[in-house]
Amino acid sequence: MARSRKPGTPGKTRIPKDIVKAVTQRLKKAFRKSDRAQVVDLSITAQQHYLYLETVEKPVEILPGLISARFAKRSAACPVPLGRMVWTGDPESWYLQLYKWSDECWDEDNDAGTDGGTPEKCLKQAIRGWGA
């Protein structure tokens, strides 16, 4: 099965740019405090009325200045979807849809039972769902 694509035109969003910028900063700050931040970076993409949360593996330094060969290839650092936050019109209240690896799609029916909330709460739920 192929991974579910993000709907719409890349880079086109209905979320105001200042909200995207502020929430992205908040999410990255919260992610840096998590234990996952040592091995992966958080990537946030705004598209349509979603903020997509993905992780990208950090390059592994074998010796000072020597990076693992797998990171030399362009496809080595593929983004891994955590979930997507749905814009509700309020920057303090988001709806979270986790990525369902079993079906390779988004959990639009909320089978995982996430309840959304602030951006930081959504990120925490997405990390918990990812790390299981």
The residue among 83, 94, 11 whose CA lies nearest residue 53 is 83
| Helices of type H across the chain | 17-32, 119-131
- Residue 3: inside a domain, yes or no? no
- Mean pLDDT on 51-69: 75
Q: Is residue 7 part of a domain?
A: no
Residue 106 belongs to a domain: yes
pLDDT band for 1, please (50, 70, 90 cuts): very low
What are the Cα distances from residue 60, in Å, to 3, 33, 67, 68, 118?
26, 20, 6, 6, 32
For residue 82, being part of any structural domain is answered with: yes
Mean pLDDT of the chain: 82
Q: 2 in a domain, yes or no?
A: no
Our count of domains for the chain comes to 1
- The pLDDT tens digits for 62-106 are 667 666 655 555 555 678 899 999 999 999 999 999 988 887 788
Answer whether residue 108 is part of any domain.
yes
pLDDT in tens, 23-32: 999 999 999 9
In a domain, 25, yes or no: yes
Structure confidence at residue 9 as a pLDDT band (50, 70, 90): low
Residue 86 lies in a domain: yes
The mean pLDDT of 36-41, rounded to a whole number, is 86
Domain that holds residue 116: 17-131
